[in-house]
Amino acid sequence: MADAYQEIEIKYHFIVPPRIIFEALTNQMMLIQLSQNAAISEPRPQGKYSLYGGIIEGEYISLKQNEQIEMNWRFKDWGSVWSHVLITLEQGEDDDEVIVVVKQTKVPAYDNYGKHVHLDNLENGWRNNIFEKLSKVFGFPIKK
């Protein structure tokens, strides 16, 4: 059971420059505002990452300014299993547009309690608790 992995890929298109999204996803104060909860972000290799009071935890692997964020990422109830998250910020048609691509691999099939990890719930979490909130909290327009 522990060796079964899943993966997802999500794309979101914002009408802001890539640097704005990069900052929002790595700046600790912006993450606190976004989540309206405790957050930690140390954007450097081996730096800690935590959202929603520790429900989500991670560790940065690498960062390319305004281009890419790579990290080990997990929900607290995943136990010792870490997924791999690669967030790529692709330039949109205009300079003030970015396509955010999240590829999350090594997602466990089951959590610490033997409950199935549903990819729909994981994807909806990214959409509702990160991307839609970037628009609602900071006013970043989403290109539909």
SS in 3 state form for 79-121? CCCCEEEEEEEEECCCCCCEEEEEEEEEEECECCCCCECCHHH
- N- to C-terminal Cα separation, the chain: 38
pLDDT digits (tens, 9 = 90+) for 67-113: 999 999 999 999 899 999 999 999 999 989 999 999 999 999 999 99
Tracing tokens 């800690």 back to the chain, one arrives at: 48
pLDDT at residue 123 is higher than 80: yes
pLDDT of residue 3: 65
Let me know: does 4 contact 108? Beta carbons within 8 Å: yes
The whole-number pLDDT of residue 109 equals 93
pLDDT at 1 over 90: no
Predicted TM-score (pTM) of this structure: 0.94
> Which own/partner pairs from 24-33 qualify as long-range (CB within 8 Å, at least 24 positions apart)?
24/134, 24/138, 24/140, 25/69, 25/87, 25/130, 26/63, 26/69, 30/138, 33/137, 33/138
Pairing of strands 68-75, 83-91: antiparallel
CA–CA distance, 34 with 77 (Å, rounded to integer): 22
Pairwise CA distance, residues 100 & 72, whole Å: 18
Beta bridge partners of 110: 116
Which amino acid is located at 69 in the chain? I
pLDDT at 4: 84
Q: Which fold does the domain 5-138 belong to in CATH?
A: Alpha-D-Glucose-1,6-Bisphosphate; Chain A, domain 4 (3.30.530)
In the predicted model, what is the mean pLDDT of residues 38-64? 97
The per-residue pLDDT for 16 is 97
